[in-house]
Chain A
Amino acid sequence: MTRSILRLFVASLARRRLASALSLLAIALGVALGLAVQLIHDAALDEFGRGMRTLAGEADLQVRGGRAGFDEGVYLALARRPEVAEASPVVEIEARLPGRATTLRLYGIDVFRLATVQPALMPRATANDARFAALAPDAVFLSTAAQQTVLDSPLQPVLTVQSGVHETALRVAGMVPGAGVGQSLAVMDIAAAQETFGMLGRLSRIDIQLAPGVDRAQARASLGAFLPAGITIAPPDAPVSETTALTRAYRVNLSMLAAIALLTGGFLVFSTQWLAVVRRRREFALLRALGMARRTLMRGLLAEGGVTGLAGGIAGVALGHLLALMAFVLIGGDLGAGYFASTRPTLQFSPWLIAGYLALGVIAGLAGAWLPAREAASMAPASGLRAGAADTAVHALGRSRLRRAVACIALAAVACLPPPIAGIPVGGYVAVAFALAAAVLALPSATALAMHVASGGRGVIWRLAHARLAAAPGQSIVAGAGVVASVALASAMAIMVSSFRVSVDDWLVSVLPADLYLRASSAGASGFLDADALARIRANAGVDFVEPVRAVDLRLIEGRPPVTLLARSVSRGWGLPLVSGSLHENASALPGVWISEAVADLLHLAPGDAMTIPFDGQAVQFSVGGVWRDYARQNGAVVVDLDTYRRLSGDDRINDVAIRLVRGASADTVAAALRDLFGAQTVEIALPGEIRAVSLKIFDRTFVVTYLMEAVAIVIGLFGIATTFAALTMARRGEFGMLRHIGLGRRDIGMLIAVEGALCAAVGVGVGLIAGGSIAWVLIEVVNRQSFHWSMDIHVPFSGLLLFSLGLVGLAALVARLAGYRAMRQRAVLAVREDW
């Protein structure tokens, strides 16, 4: 039985090698992409979580502030609370390393407190006179991973770090053996860290072990009650769930791409199986007449799909692991999105995960084979044995499904309405699926409509092709379904990416209005400029006006990573791409704050609302002046006026300086002068054009995978046309023979097939474009908005889409013509006689 299934059914896969290979490839791609995304993310999150656990050690609760830290008095007060058995203060620094692109995460720790709370961070001295090395003010201890990344050689005795615009040489005194291989970090004495990095009097974190018998939730509430504003107390695994919340949408987005590939694979299985079934109709009728059970036939055909799916799954699992491995080597496991800096994850094999993705491949194959198998099994053997049976089967598909299509459209519209579930735009994805289904279901009606509109004779070939499609819209379903799906997805992606890119470009122009930018380091890191440095910049020849920006992070939203607070001037024309509100301080007595769309979405704020922001332990009321678009900080950002910020925080440091030049001054000359002033390794100086070019390059790189998916989808769509026409021309040999008899030339027949292919594709492309447009709208307005909280202006790349459509129709004609070639080689007489 099993062997006969293998011989009769699965072996047929080998006879249509190209078709099988492409179906397999599509399924493999889907499985591989999905698995790779999950592997990479799981490994990165795992390592990130391990890092957090290492750092948190035996802590029951963690007190955290933003990067700027909080007053160390909080520690002195907490350590004396009866709920607290042990408390360990930590100063956390993202140390800028002069001349290096990477920063080093450095923990200033109290070695005496570490022992009970975070033993994994315990430094270990290597030198011989090292009795007090862990307390020495210039000693730094590196984890193995940090040694490998920040030292040029393992014996390098000195590590230079940057604080402000000054460099400090630290002695590499030993290791952090407990940190594990994946954690890139450094440890030094807490006092030394405070002094070296200008954190005197400040702490970043306190890890707490509770006294025996103290309930964690109760302690969290009782300790939290007396903490100053802006400081949170949470279990040590909170950063993991915060990061998970942040990356979830990104990961789901990538997985959706994988799902699309899988769906396309399923489609492909469907179209090849359908045609195989049509072609082998007589064979099946004979088998049935010879006594094969309906169930056996069905099972055999399903096995064909299942085997394709399984093979694709196996290839996909292998490819997925390979992709993940390559990603770790090339981009370091954060999926190119920067969520997991300073962890070095390793690939892990999970049998359950592998089994799951294999199952997905098989399911895609089985699902694709289901309808054709059912169709073949339900056929009455007698009718199947008759000539022209193939055509009948195709006709059956052409029934109008307009009502279902309309229902799908309505469901898609409804699905756009609900808010995201756990940060994931589930409704948006459902809407995309319904829109796709609606497009495929509408295809017969669309074909009929198109043929009705395009009626009117223009030559025999045209009329023949037209008549054929008008009479048998089922053909367009089989040939065009793939085209519709691929065109819809490709054009939706194209519109979304184009809208995104144009919006990002406009945004870059509006946020970079100055002539020159100087940066000490990114928001979190240890480089900064002080008033003296600012004065030195201002004193440069050619500098007309400088605008300092201070960036710090801030705990504002429960359960999310800190948001960025940007302190700068707001109303002096320094560029803030508002989507609502205004740049002017409003009439209320409260100082203004301008919030990014992410903050507005997550905190449900609109211009005019009041908002509380913690400053140095004090909760300060602000009034929301406007909402602005921010593509740079997915965790959210708020802008307050620099003077207000300084008054409230007492912090007069600067991260970035925007510089306007006097008329006629050369940006290059001024940049060179500034570089000389601070040292080329200490500050980064960039022209807005450079920043823009780099940003767009990164943008394009991020979307490469999307373009790749589009290309695959198009190939698959074209392939659908090729297989359909190959099979249909075989089935229509008699018809073509007849046409030859009544005087059509071989070239005319070829032309006929090409026109039919083009018409089929044109209808598919038309429907696909309409569906793609609506899917793009869903992606932009629902999926992106809910996933990443950023809006964009819709920008349809009309010329690109037109060119793409024409190209696709032309290619379809060519492919159909090539596929039908075999049918036209036959001698007309034989072809006609075969039917009798």
Chain B
Amino acid sequence: MGRDTRGILAAALLWLALWQTPAAFGGAGVGVMSYPPVIAGRALSFPRDHGAHPGYRTEWWYVTGWLRDEAGRERGFQLTFFRVRPPLDVTGSSRFSPQQLILAHAALADPANGRLFHAERAERVLPPLVAADAGNTDVKLHDWRLAWSAPAGAPGHYRAHVQAGTFAFDLELTPDGEPLLNGDAGFSRKASAPEHASYYYSRPQLKAEGQLRLQDAQHVVSGKAWLDHEWSSEIMPPDASGWDWIGINLDDGGALMAFRMRNLDGAQIWAGGTLRMPDGRVRILAPDALHFSVRRSWRSPRSGATYPVEMELEIAAEGAQPARRVRIAPMMDDQELDSRRSTGAIYWEGAVRVFEAGASAREIGRGYLEMTGYADPLKM
């Protein structure tokens, strides 16, 4: 209990120190740093691009998924590592030089609890304690880690390890194939202006297996997960207030990623997506091919923010592909996450089920829904 209170106090203090004012990362006055631009046509090359890209301002590795324990209970999990290059003029002969920061969130959605278990961390890069490898995926923040490992002869897997107060997990995540490049071969636009873009690929249909500790109970778990890796310098268009995003592992072996950027009025100003068919063919979804509509909202008693926790997504027809309508419904309503201590944002990040819209209402997949900018406009 004592440590918990202390943690809350510490969080508040760090927030004051680092994120005190809502001025943007790239806001007036701190634009001293020049970041490499994200441009179309740069071919992603693996495994190099699985690793960190320290020149860019923001980068994340985002793992989400559903886990089922030995008793059949289902829970959602999320683990994100952010790498941030702050807009500071630091020359950096000191090992502690804050040229790169690593922030991390981990959350566990347990319907029995009714809300998220959540933990977060923030540190400056300080190898070997805190590091983000540039050669392949290996991000480390003390004993939290996400790393790719490929023992000789084996296909290779990610290992996600988190040790928080109320929960812990240690998972092996094995991909089923090559990375799924979003947008134009990994160049993902976020607005009509081309500079607002990121390099972005996903690894859907990750087979997850491992251990989960929830409070004092230890579980053996397995399930399906999704990894996003995205890096950028100016991802948010100035008129955007946040985004909605889904990453869904479809039961037929396909995968669906879709996002939309919203302005302050809540209107869609940009959208994008990727649909992988069961046979491996990939359809890139253009902004006008995606339409989100709200079915049900939930208001957070803590932040007061209202989130559209149930949405319907319409994917327009294209060529031989018919139009599709799916309904997105949460595992539980309260999956709001307060990460002001590390990234300064309050957002909703939760496990969702996806149903065929219309009469059949058949469940066709599971994944995660992320909704940012509903409590306050998101600043990156």
Contacts and interface: CB of A to CB of B under 8 A. Distances in A.
B281 interface: no
Interface string B310-349: 0000000000000000000000000000000100000000
Interface string A81-115: 00000000100000000000000000000111111
A131 B128 contact: no
Interface stretch (B34-42, B82-90, B153-161): B82-90
The majority secondary structure among interface residues of chain A is mixed
A132 B23 contact: no
Given A122-B14, A132-B86, 12 more contacts: A76-B126, A111-B14, A114-B13, A114-B14, A115-B11, A119-B9, A131-B27, A135-B88, A137-B89, A137-B91, A190-B96, A212-B3
B13 A122 contact: yes
B96 A111 contact: no
Q: Which of A113, A124, A129, A134 has the most CB of B within 10 A?
A: A129
B88 A136 contact: yes
Interface string B67-105: 000000000000000000011111111111110000000
Contact of B25 (A114, A131, A191): A131
What are the 7 closest A-B residue pairs judged by CB atoms, nearest first?
A115-B10, A129-B29, A191-B94, A191-B96, A135-B98, A115-B14, A191-B97
A111 B15 CA distance: 11
A807 B83 CA distance: 85
A135 B97 CA distance: 9
A129 B26 CA distance: 10
A122 B6 contact: no
Contacts of A132: 18, 30, 86-88, 98
B16 interface: yes
Given A110-B124, A191-B92, A194-B96, A131 B21 contact: yes
A130 interface: yes
A190 B12 CA distance: 21
Contact of B96 (A110, A115, A119): A110
B95 A72 contact: yes
A189 interface: yes
Given A115-B14, A128-B21, A201-B95, A76 B129 contact: yes
B122 interface: yes
A135 B86 contact: yes
A122 B14 CA distance: 7
A164 interface: no
B166 interface: no
A585 interface: no
A137 B20 contact: no
B30 A129 contact: yes
A135 B30 CA distance: 13
B161 to A, nearest CB: 15
Contact of A122 (B16, B19, B88, B128): B16
Contacts of A178: 13
B17 interface: yes
Interface string A186-201: 0001111011000011
B20 A125 contact: yes
29 contacts: A58-B6, A72-B95, A79-B129, A80-B129, A111-B17, A112-B122, A114-B13, A115-B10, A116-B6, A122-B14, A122-B16, A129-B21, A129-B23, A129-B30, A131-B20, A131-B23, A134-B18, A135-B18, A135-B86, A137-B89, A178-B13, A189-B96, A189-B98, A191-B97, A191-B98, A191-B124, A195-B93, A200-B93, A201-B95
Given A191-B98, A195-B94, A128 B23 contact: yes
Nearest to A115: B10
A130 B94 CA distance: 22
Contacts of B7: 116
A129 B20 CA distance: 9
B28 interface: yes
Contacts of B97: 191
B356 interface: no
Contacts of B10: 115-116, 119
B142 interface: yes
Given A131-B25, A137-B89, A124 B30 contact: no
A79 to B, nearest CB: 6
Interface in A185-235: 189-192, 194-195, 200-201, 212
B30 A112 contact: no
Contacts of A201: 95
A124 B17 contact: yes
The majority secondary structure among interface residues of chain B is loop
- Interface size range on B against A: 35 or more
A636 interface: no
A58 B142 CA distance: 20
A130 B13 contact: no
Contacts of B92: 191
A127 to B, nearest CB: 8
Contacts of A76: 126, 128-129
A80 B141 CA distance: 11
B376 interface: no
A626 interface: no
Interface string B119-155: 0001110101100000000000010000000000000
A167 B243 CA distance: 48
Nearest to B123: A112
A190 B96 CA distance: 7
A123 interface: yes
Contacts of A135: 18, 86, 88, 90, 98, 124
Contacts of B142: 79
B166 to A, nearest CB: 13
A332 B89 CA distance: 40
A112 B3 CA distance: 17
A79 B126 CA distance: 11
Contacts of B95: 72, 191, 201
Contacts of B13: 114-115, 119, 122, 178
A469 B46 CA distance: 113
Nearest to B18: A134
B88 A125 contact: no
A194 B122 CA distance: 21
Contacts of A133: 17
Interface string A58-80: 10000000000000100010011
Contacts of A80: 128-129
Contacts of B124: 110, 112, 135, 191
Contacts of A136: 88
A110 B129 CA distance: 14
A113 to B, nearest CB: 8
Contacts of B28: 129
A80 B140 CA distance: 13
A126 to B, nearest CB: 9
Nearest to A85: B3
Contacts of A200: 93-94
A119 B17 CA distance: 11
Contacts of B341: 115
A464 B91 CA distance: 96
A116 B11 CA distance: 8
A119 B96 CA distance: 19
A189 B9 CA distance: 21
Q: Which of A113, A122, A135 has the most CB of B within 10 A?
A: A135
A821 to B, nearest CB: 77
A115 to B, nearest CB: 4
B17 A125 contact: yes
A178 B17 CA distance: 12
Nearest to A120: B13
A131 B379 CA distance: 11
Given A122-B17, A125-B20, A191-B94, A137 B88 contact: yes
Contacts of A79: 129, 142
Nearest to B2: A58
Nearest to B142: A79
Contact of A134 (B17, B96, B126): B17
Contacts of B3: 212
A551 B13 CA distance: 38
Contacts of B126: 76
